[in-house]
Structure 1
Amino acid sequence: MKKILLPALLLSFFLSCTSSENNTGNGEASDKQLILKVDGSSTVYPITEAVAEDYRAANPQLQVTIGISGTGGGMKKFTVGEIDICNASRPIKKSENDICIEKNIKYIELPIAYDGLAVTVNPKNNWVDYLTVAELKTIWEAAAQGKIMNWSQIRKGWPDKPIKLFGPGTDSGTFDYFTEAVIGKQGDSRGDYTASEDDNVLVQGVSSDDGSLGYFGLAYYEENASKLKLVPIDDGNESNGAGPIAPSLETVQNGTYAPLSRVLLIYANSAAEGKKEVKDFLHFYIENAPTLVKEVGFIPLQSNIYATVAQRLENDVTGSIYTDGHEVGTNLEDLLKTAKSDTAE
């Protein structure tokens, strides 16, 4: 499995890729390379980086720069035309789509992988064997701030020990998805926790405090499994699997790890996609996603879904398959079957 790069290496990669553009000031490198600008989700970054690395080996004429500012941060740039592709760990929001309409930016939405949100505690935690969605809500909802501070408040018999929370910042698509799935409303989270857009910081935090609890993408748990304890989740819905369920390739792909299974996406500006080099890169992305997604620790889509996504790209189908940006409780295959074009018109 390809390693998920550490922050220092990410910064080094980003700076090295952007240097030629900065020297010319006109969006093209000095040797006339076309520069494709990508930004957004830290979760999706390893997939796009792996694709770009393999593509550049055979196609040096396209230079790909990849930044990490969270899905929300990437969307702020994407919706005003500052970048060509946005890595996203949740669907485009209605407010973001509205800006695209205002700025006359059409986009192609391309699902690329599944991911599960891993809820983790410190390995020294010997009392948490699973959590219910209701208990997660009790811990993380906005009303818990300053009030739910100890494990003994979550379940009878648990120790009177402080809970130290770690989670993504508010610009993160992971934050948006988790709060909607668990609390019922995007962004309705307590604020008294250690927040970071860098999942490696969250891993380090949970692994260093035996009273800690955190959440982030499953790939980051798998990369650091020896430092963390994975917590199975019980959503209370026996129709999709009874009792606590841990995230895995099977449970995320079949949807039984609910409600913390999600789709990862990229959004491509259709104006950039119209350039042959960019379209070739996007076709390469979708064609190689089944292999590269797995190599970096994520979960591939089903083969028939990749075929549908490739057809959307080939036909330049624009707009989002998600109504008002909501993914929780939806099925990707069903959405693709009923999708309409040109949401961003």
Structure 2
Amino acid sequence: MKTATVAYSKLIWRFGCLAASAFLITGLTGCNDKAAGERAITQDTIIADGSSTVFPITKEAARRYMQKNDNADIRTSFSGTTAGFLLFCKGKSDISNASRAMSAAETADCKSNNIEYLALPLAMDSIAIVVNPKNKWADSVSVMELNKLWRPSAEANVKTWKDIRDDWPDQAITLYGRGKNSGTYDYFTQEIVGQARSSRHDYTASEDEEFLANSIADDVNAIGFFGIGAYHRHWNELKLLPLRNASNEAIYPSLATVKDGSYTPLTRPLYLYINMASLSSKKQLKPFLQDYYQRLPSWIHFTGYMPLDDAQYQRTLNKLN
């Protein structure tokens, strides 16, 4: 049964990866950026920034909306959830893509700048642990081993694969992960290290998931973490490691394991934060968001992310209405 489950999960990922690669290539290469870039930014231009994990989803929603609405101008970019909230709370973006909830300090920052907002749940995500496909020794990793590797004291003590597990080779390990402007970094460190924004510093950090994926694909001793969507876009260049749970079962991130909560603790919600003043003043923002949430359940599965249930999307649409 276990073998069959793993095989089924791999089949789901393979389908998801192929679909996501084709589906998201437009969003990640910015095929509609040239057309948008030819327009001057006006008071009706919608600015979306923040999480690079959520970026491809909002980018695709914007592409679909602008195909039907020639007058719409939606600019999407990413700077990381934390950096995105800094911009949002200064009134410099209309939509803040987020891979975590806004913190108390960020909420206070928005309040001090008179920025009122809606926080809208968007989807569920999992954080993927990936290695180079030429890595033949690592077939899974536990939360305890990830803690051993990423906690601050590891910088001086955990430098080889053998330092993580005795039967792994005595080869230098290289680490890649999201930077400190990222909500993925905040969530990963909270769940793995036990304290948000606390980790070793001797790793290659970036808000660009494409850079991280390509770097790991070129380094046989690499291990890294980022949202599952980035793995799906590079499934044939990376090797996905399952997490070993307390029962020593290897659990892969998949639509099924995110839904049933078994891929723990690296499953988390994704959000959109919407500037209320922009919702009133920018005539395309409300219909764009309505279109986004109405159509999202029909295509989000191609991205590798997990949709919320229909009732949650309906509640969001009721708020917007």
What is the TM-score when the length of structure 2 is the normalising length? 0.88
1:269 aligns with 2:275: yes
Tell me, yes or no, if structure 1 residue 293 matches structure 2 residue 313.
Answer: no
Q: Does 1:119 align with 2:129?
A: yes
Deviations 1:64-89 (A, max 9, x none): 01121111111111001011001111
1:255 partner amino acid: G
Gaps of 5+ in 2: 1-18
Equivalent residue number for residue 279 of structure 1: 286
Q: Which residue of 1 aligns with 2:16?
A: none
Partner of 2:24: 4
CA distance in 2, matches of 1:117, 1:13: 28
Structure 1 residue 197 corresponds to structure 2 residue 217: no
- Cα deviation digits, residues 298-345 of structure 1 (max 9, x gap): 22112222222223333xxxxxxxxxxxxxxxxxxxxxxxxxxxxxxx
What SS does structure 2 have at the residue aligned with 1:142? coil
Structure 1 residue 104 corresponds to structure 2 residue 123: no
Partner SS state of residue 62, structure 1: coil
**Pairwise mapping of residues 10-21 of structure 1 onto structure 2 (< 5 A)?**
10=30, 13-14=32-33, 16-21=35-40
The reply to whether residue 77 of structure 1 matches residue 87 of structure 2 is yes
Please list every run of at least 4 consecutive aligned residues from structure 1 whose deviation after the TM superposition is greater than 6 angstroms.
none
Q: Which amino acid counterpart does residue 306 of structure 1 have in structure 2?
A: Y
Q: Which runs of 5+ in 1 are unaligned?
A: 29-33, 315-345
1:65 is matched with: 75
**Cα distance in 1, alignment partners of residues 129 and 237 from structure 2:** 13
Query: Structure 1 residue 260 and structure 2 residue 266: aligned?
Result: yes
3-state SS of the aligned residue for 1:21? coil
Match of 1:313 in 2: 320
Shift in Å at residue 287 of structure 1?
A: 0.7
- SS of equivalent residue, structure 1 residue 55: helix
Deviation at 1:9, TM superposition (A): 2.9
Decide whether aligned partners of structure 1 residues 78 and 280 sit closer, same or farther in structure 2, where only a CA change above 3 A counts.
same
Distance in 1 separating the partners of 2:65 and 2:214: 32
Which whole-Å CA distance do the structure 1 matches of 2:318 and 2:32 have between them? 32
Q: Which stretch shows the higher mean deviation, 274-283 or 60-69?
A: 274-283
Residues 232 and 303, structure 2, Cα contact 8 Å, conserved in 1: no
CA–CA distance in structure 1, aligned partners of residues 165 and 78 of structure 2: 37
Residue pair 1:120, 1:230 contacting (<8 A) in 2 also: yes
Q: Given that residues 28 and 56 in structure 2 are in contact (C-alpha distance below 8 angstroms), is that contact kept between their aligned partners in structure 1?
A: no
Q: Select the residue among 205, 220, 235 that pairs with 2:230.
A: 220
Contact 1:253 1:301 in 2 (8 A): no
Q: What is residue 140 of structure 1 aligned with on the other side?
A: 150
What is the alpha-carbon distance in structure 1 between the residues aligned to residue 232 and residue 287 of structure 2? 31
Deviations 1:77-107 (Å, cap 9, x if unpaired)?
Answer: 1001011001111111111111111111111
Give the 3 Å change call, closer, same or farther, for CA 302–8 of structure 1 in structure 2.
closer
Contact 1:50 1:292 in 2 (8 A): no
2:168 is aligned, of 154, 158, 169, to: 158
Contact 1:42 1:198 in 2 (8 A): yes
User: Percent same amino acid among aligned pairs?
Assistant: 36
Q: 1:7 to 1:164 in 2, by over 3 A?
A: farther
- Counterpart CA distance in 2 for 1:8 and 1:118 is 19
Q: 2:50 aligns with which of 40, 43, 53?
A: 40
C-alpha separation in 2, matches of 1:21 and 1:230: 42
- One-letter code of the match for 2:168? W
User: How many pairs does the alignment contain?
Assistant: 300
The match for 1:251 among 253, 257, 272 is 257
Residue 244 (structure 1) shift: 2.2
Q: Which amino acid aligns with 1:296?
A: T
- The CA RMSD measured in Å over matched residues stands at 1.9
Q: Retained in 1: the 8 A contact 2:82–2:182? A: yes
